[in-house]
Amino acid sequence: MSGDRTTAQDPSQLAPQYSPAEVESRRYAGWVDAGLFTADAAAVAAGRPSFSIVIPPPNVTGSLHIGHALEHTLIDSLVRRRRMQGYSTLWLPGMDHAGIATQNVVEHELARESLSRHDLGREKFVERVWQWKAESGGKILGQMRRLGDSVDWSRERFTMDEGLSRAVHTMFKRLFDDGLIYRAERIINWCPRCLTALSDIEVEHADEDGELVSIRYGDGAGAIVVATTRAETMLGDTAVAVHPDDPRYAGLIGREVELPLTGRRIPVVADPHVDPEFGTGAVKVTPAHDPNDFEIGRRHDLPARTIMDERGVITAPGPFGGLDRFEARPAVVAALREEGRIVAEVRPYLHSVGHCGRCGTIVEPRLSLQWFVKVGPLAKAAGDAVRDGRVKMHPPEMAARYFDWVDDMHDWCISRQLWWGHRIPVFYGPNGAIVCTAPGEDPPGADNPGSWQQDPDVLDTWFSSGLWAFSTLGWPDDTPDMRAFYPTSVLVTGYDILFFWVARMMMLSLYAMSGTSQGQAPDAGREPAQAIPFYDVALHGLVRDSHGKKMSKSRGNAVDPLDWIDRFGADAVRFTMARGANPGGDVAVSEEWAAGARNFCNKLWNAARFSLMNGARVPAELPDPASLTVADRWILSRLASVTADVDALFEAFEFGKLSEALYHFAWDEYCDWYLELAKVTLPPPGQPSAGPAGAGPAGADEAAAERTRDVLGYVLDRLLRLLHPVMPFLTDELWAALTGEESVVVAPWPGQRVDGAGAPVASERFTDPAAEAQIAALTRLVTQVRRFRSDQGLRPGQRVAAALTGIANTPLAGHEASIRTLLRLTPPDDGFAPTASVQAEGVTVELDTSGAIDVAAERRRLEKDLAAATEEVDRTQRKLANPGFTAKAPPEVIEKTRQRLAAAEADMTLLQSRLAALA
RNA sequence: GGGCCGUUAGCUCAGCGGGAGAGUGCUUCCCUGACACGGAAGAAGUCACUGGUUCAAAUCCAGUACGGCCCACCA
């Protein structure tokens, strides 16, 4: 805002209803063309503070769902506010290659052509995935435009980009050289359908009904009974374990028992892991197919017998060979029963079963050679950064969940038997030689091709996501973007990926930026405090339907954000999301909510339309408050208050509350009262430039109208700016119409701001408690009279003659014209014959209702009010009579209570006298 | 098995020591100078239960019931 008053465009440009579609595409294109979203690293170098957020990269598979609409709304509103505040902002867009998910999708596609990835071969298959990515990725970017995301398109990244791949390679090499990545044969979670290892958190546990089978091993005095839910694994048993102190088995430890169906004899070992209280206190040990048993096996040097292949088919010799694991289970039980080995029959048993997080197949613990990250030191640092407050969680309760996980984390299995992903940069040569290459380094064995083989596996997709906060900014190079935008400011994401992503980003970022061992130098002279990937983590919940049910395609209650944007507009969808978002809380949405938000958009549209029709314009500076009407001062005071509230709520990530505050200010105060009050001062319609002073029906003079036009424009301008972060399209369109300027995107934020050097800019703060009190009284009086008319069945639109007696001695003295306009009251004329009166705020409104009033209805109402007032008087009197209260309550509370009592007593006498008058 | 959270108007949720709130839905009236995607008025809740702390509890503490979520090497 600079220079002269800007005048409104022709108000006839504004249709009576807001139609989002055209505005949205035009506005978005304008923003991008003007380069308003492009981050400026040089400005940061010159001293401007920065604000950066990296997008939680959506999977290239599929499209954005309503949860993304929530997430993007929150991120975008944070970014837009900071941009208006004067920060150099970066919202970096991008996508995740989502290894297993994407590979599955493309494999499904191939299956429709009756092909498998093996038919294509690795190279051709990966090519095909890239092809598929190109198509799917574009769809997501289009959706982001529709949502209005103010992302810097020039900095778009993909986890398998060349630059990011180099970051991944660099990181792997560093961890490898530091001994924090190792290869080992372990029991891992294996998906027999996806044919790959999974990390612990990629396994989803669900309680399922199973059978607990008790089996007798051995015979006679040496017999021992074990229980299992996975009978087929007994084929791979290599011991029975009991607790060392269990007297029942003391004599058996060290002896051997016969393993049924196999003819093998296996030892009885003593291991403290066994719980003597559970079942018979004896447990079968299958080191190759159970993580606990694997550990027991290690402690007792037991062999591990693998009895299943990678697809879950039994490979053990004998009659069960070739059976699927779930076919083998009953077959083994039947065979045991035939031998009389099943004891006490089988028992139904509810137990937790692990499923592949991607395809739902029951996971099989499998002994295999995999790569792991040693998480100990990394997890410690990740926990400490939150513990010591360098990184703050919102809401803070979520930190407990984070600590639980980070403080007790198993080593992270990072190798995947997939083709789509970052290939592990390790080569195996002759005589067991192993080399991990550095980025750019040639593979070993150039002189002897064929003697070295690269590891066929790729990395867990979350390994590259874990680097996202800095790999996207050019790491490992010391780039201007790294210097300007790392650490990022806020991570906005769902609590459901706290472990998958947040914790991994913390671990890998802290490691990469500060170095954790073996003299690794911190990057770019970064202080340890700055090694964190982000200062704040703002966690949002899941989007649910109106009954709080999780949205899912199978349930049929999933919402396509584009569908809602088409029907209600992007701003309405965004407002719906923001309004429902409490920190860490799930968001319940429904079409009714979206329609309500759409209505709000339309309300704003029309408020602006009315203002523009009445010549609102934004003044270079506010007129002298002394020259303003009380209503003007009231709305300015309320605006200042709401501005401060919204500012504070933004800082606290309280999106729901700040949306609510703006909604109520805009609708209940600005539209419902201020615009109505402004009509008193503004010249009547069809009289755009008012005549001589006093010509208007309410004594409107042109000077007063001019000042009200200023205030009308001033408040609308600030309101649009305050709403812009959440509702960018509508506010931009209206603001351009109001100010004649190009875009509100870079207009100054009405609250706290900074200048180019990062110094705070003082913001205007107009407060007028006296005006607030007067308008509050006015609204109460008007509501009282309206209520009377409504109760009496008098049509709201009908003009009624009335006298306002006693008003001269009240704070409402100057408001008679306003009250008359709001209530459609005409002055008493010659035939004035009041038939009823309403008293409130010290004013008696005598009404000529041109007819008898409904005495019974009026009595009912008065009696009801009297009962309420009497109760209130009673309650407050008792309270004030309580010596404990007067002695211990804070003075302001006592004062408030006294005032309440006085008000209630006044109400009571008033109502009593009116009841008496009625009789 | 461990942990976290919730239980407030029909529904979805705010409020978290001193007057029970919002949106939506519902009832009645109204196309009043922008908006019927609108205006006005209204009905509606022993704030899950029990006990405790306090002058004062929806709000703090303990327990109970119900619901939800997360974690777990539950043979």
pLDDT over 50 (residue A122) = yes
Q: In Å, what is the separation between the CA of A399 and the C1' of B13?
A: 24
Burial of A811 (0-12, 13-18, 19+ CB in 10 A): middle
List, for residues A205-260, the tens digit of each pLDDT value: 888 888 888 898 888 888 888 989 999 999 999 999 999 988 888 888 889 989 98
pLDDT over 80 (residue A554) = no
Nearest DNA or RNA nucleotide to A782 (CA to C1'): B40
- Kindly report which amino acid residue has its CA closest to the C1' atom of nucleotide B56: A885
- Kindly report which amino acid residue has its CA closest to the C1' atom of nucleotide B17: A889
Identify the three-state secondary structure at position A820. helix
Q: Quote the pLDDT of residue A550.
A: 79
Nearest DNA or RNA nucleotide to A788 (CA to C1'): B41
* Cα→Cα distances A668→A171, A600, A634, A672, Å: 55, 11, 13, 5
Nearest DNA or RNA nucleotide to A496 (CA to C1'): B70
Average pLDDT on A799-816 reads: 92
List, for residues A754-763, the tens digit of each pLDDT value: 998 889 998 8
Tell whether the torsion through CA atoms of A183, A185, A189 and A190 is positive or negative: positive
Average pLDDT on A349-359 reads: 87
* Cα→Cα distances A517→A166, A176, A524, Å: 22, 12, 17
Q: Quote the pLDDT of residue A106.
A: 92
Q: How many CB atoms lie within 10 A of CB A746?
A: 14
Q: In Å, what is the separation between the CA of A830 and the C1' of B29?
A: 30
pLDDT over 80 (residue A812) = yes
Tokens representing A53 are 């957020």
Nearest DNA or RNA nucleotide to A608 (CA to C1'): B34
A13 or A336: which carries more pLDDT confidence?
A: A336
DSSP state of A236: G
Average pLDDT on A670-684 reads: 93
Question: Considering chain A, what is the average pLDDT of its residues?
Answer: 89
Tokens representing A889 are 């309550």
Tokens representing A773 are 């009190």
Q: Quote the pLDDT of residue A783.
A: 93
Q: In Å, what is the separation between the CA of A894 and the C1' of B60?
A: 22
When pLDDT is cut at 50, 70 and 90, the band that residue A690 belongs to is very low
Q: In Å, what is the separation between the CA of A601 and the C1' of B34?
A: 13
Q: In Å, what is the separation between the CA of A533 and the C1' of B34?
A: 48
Identify the CA nearest to A71 among candidates A581, A712, A443, A427: A581
When pLDDT is cut at 50, 70 and 90, the band that residue A585 belongs to is confident
Tokens representing A168 are 């991944």
Q: Quote the pLDDT of residue A698.
A: 42
Q: In Å, what is the separation between the CA of A591 and the C1' of B25?
A: 13
Q: In Å, what is the separation between the CA of A879 and the C1' of B47?
A: 21
Q: How many CB atoms lie within 10 A of CB A794?
A: 19
pLDDT over 60 (residue A697) = no
Nearest DNA or RNA nucleotide to A604 (CA to C1'): B35
Interface predicted TM-score (ipTM) of this complex, two decimals = 0.96
pLDDT over 60 (residue A46) = yes
Least trusted range by pLDDT, from A412-416, A531-535, A851-855: A851-855
Given a contact cutoff of 8 angstroms between Cβ atoms, the answer to whether A503 and A405 are in contact is: yes
Q: Quote the pLDDT of residue A507.
A: 94
Nearest DNA or RNA nucleotide to A593 (CA to C1'): B24
Given a contact cutoff of 8 angstroms between Cβ atoms, the answer to whether A406 and A382 are in contact is: yes
When pLDDT is cut at 50, 70 and 90, the band that residue A514 belongs to is confident
Given a contact cutoff of 8 angstroms between Cβ atoms, the answer to whether A268 and A239 are in contact is: yes
When pLDDT is cut at 50, 70 and 90, the band that residue A830 belongs to is confident
- Kindly report which amino acid residue has its CA closest to the C1' atom of nucleotide B22: A660
- Kindly report which amino acid residue has its CA closest to the C1' atom of nucleotide B5: A397
Name every residue whose Cβ is closer than 8 Å to that of residue A336 and which is 6 or more positions away in sequence.
A213, A215, A231, A260, A261, A342
A660 or A555: which carries more pLDDT confidence?
A: A660
Q: Give the whole-angstrom CA distance, residue A126 versus residue A418.
A: 10
- Kindly report which amino acid residue has its CA closest to the C1' atom of nucleotide B19: A900
Nearest DNA or RNA nucleotide to A660 (CA to C1'): B22
Nearest DNA or RNA nucleotide to A899 (CA to C1'): B19
Least trusted range by pLDDT, from A74-88, A271-285, A362-376: A271-285
Q: Quote the pLDDT of residue A526.
A: 54
- Kindly report which amino acid residue has its CA closest to the C1' atom of nucleotide B2: A404
pLDDT over 90 (residue A642) = yes
Average pLDDT on A853-858 reads: 84
Q: In Å, what is the separation between the CA of A781 and the C1' of B56?
A: 32
Nearest DNA or RNA nucleotide to A683 (CA to C1'): B33
Q: In Å, what is the separation between the CA of A207 and the C1' of B72?
A: 13
Chain B positions within 7 A of any protein Cβ atom are 2-5, 11-14, 18-19, 22-25, 28-43, 54-56, 69-75
- Kindly report which amino acid residue has its CA closest to the C1' atom of nucleotide B4: A401
Angle (nearest 5°) at CA A49 between A749 and A402: 95
Average pLDDT on A558-562 reads: 89
Q: In Å, what is the separation between the CA of A779 and the C1' of B66?
A: 44
pLDDT over 60 (residue A817) = yes
List, for residues A389-417, the tens digit of each pLDDT value: 899 999 888 888 899 899 888 899 999 99
Q: Quote the pLDDT of residue A572.
A: 95
Q: In Å, what is the separation between the CA of A873 and the C1' of B2?
A: 52
Nearest DNA or RNA nucleotide to A681 (CA to C1'): B33
- Kindly report which amino acid residue has its CA closest to the C1' atom of nucleotide B32: A797
Q: In Å, what is the separation between the CA of A665 and the C1' of B28?
A: 27
Kindly write down the DSSP assignment for every residue of A313-380, as one continuous string: BB-SSSTTTT-BHHHHHHHHHHHHHHTT-EEEEEEEEEEEEEEETTT-PBPEEEEEEEEEE--HHHHH
Nearest DNA or RNA nucleotide to A598 (CA to C1'): B37
When pLDDT is cut at 50, 70 and 90, the band that residue A524 belongs to is very low
The label of the residue with tokens 């984390």 reads A409
Nearest DNA or RNA nucleotide to A14 (CA to C1'): B34
Q: In Å, what is the separation between the CA of A607 and the C1' of B38?
A: 12
- Kindly report which amino acid residue has its CA closest to the C1' atom of nucleotide B55: A884
Q: In Å, what is the separation between the CA of A405 and the C1' of B27?
A: 53
Identify the CA nearest to A815 among candidates A679, A636, A624, A630: A630
In chain A, % of residues over pLDDT 70: 95
Q: Quote the pLDDT of residue A346.
A: 79
Q: Give the whole-angstrom CA distance, residue A572 versus residue A597.
A: 5
- Kindly report which amino acid residue has its CA closest to the C1' atom of nucleotide B14: A657
When pLDDT is cut at 50, 70 and 90, the band that residue A3 belongs to is very low
Average pLDDT on A681-701 reads: 58
Q: Quote the pLDDT of residue A515.
A: 53
Nearest DNA or RNA nucleotide to A600 (CA to C1'): B37
Nearest DNA or RNA nucleotide to A18 (CA to C1'): B37
List, for residues A426-485, the tens digit of each pLDDT value: 999 888 899 999 999 988 887 777 889 999 999 999 999 999 999 999 999 989 999 999
Angle (nearest 5°) at CA A120 between A117 and A123: 95
Q: In Å, what is the separation between the CA of A607 and the C1' of B34?
A: 6
pLDDT over 60 (residue A6) = no
Q: Quote the pLDDT of residue A548.
A: 77
- Kindly report which amino acid residue has its CA closest to the C1' atom of nucleotide B35: A606
Least trusted range by pLDDT, from A304-308, A546-550, A619-623, A712-716: A546-550
Q: Quote the pLDDT of residue A209.
A: 84
Tokens representing A388 are 């010591």
Given a contact cutoff of 8 angstroms between Cβ atoms, the answer to whether A492 and A53 are in contact is: yes
Q: Give the whole-angstrom CA distance, residue A274 versus residue A304.
A: 19
- Kindly report which amino acid residue has its CA closest to the C1' atom of nucleotide B36: A599
Identify the three-state secondary structure at position A806. coil
Identify the CA nearest to A864 among candidates A819, A903, A914: A914
Q: In Å, what is the separation between the CA of A283 and the C1' of B2?
A: 23
Least trusted range by pLDDT, from A473-482, A540-549, A752-761, A825-834: A540-549
Q: Quote the pLDDT of residue A527.
A: 58
Q: In Å, what is the separation between the CA of A539 and the C1' of B15?
A: 21
A263 or A515: which carries more pLDDT confidence?
A: A263
Given a contact cutoff of 8 angstroms between Cβ atoms, the answer to whether A600 and A572 are in contact is: yes
Q: Give the whole-angstrom CA distance, residue A57 versus residue A231.
A: 43
Q: In Å, what is the separation between the CA of A551 and the C1' of B16?
A: 30
Amino acid at site A75? I
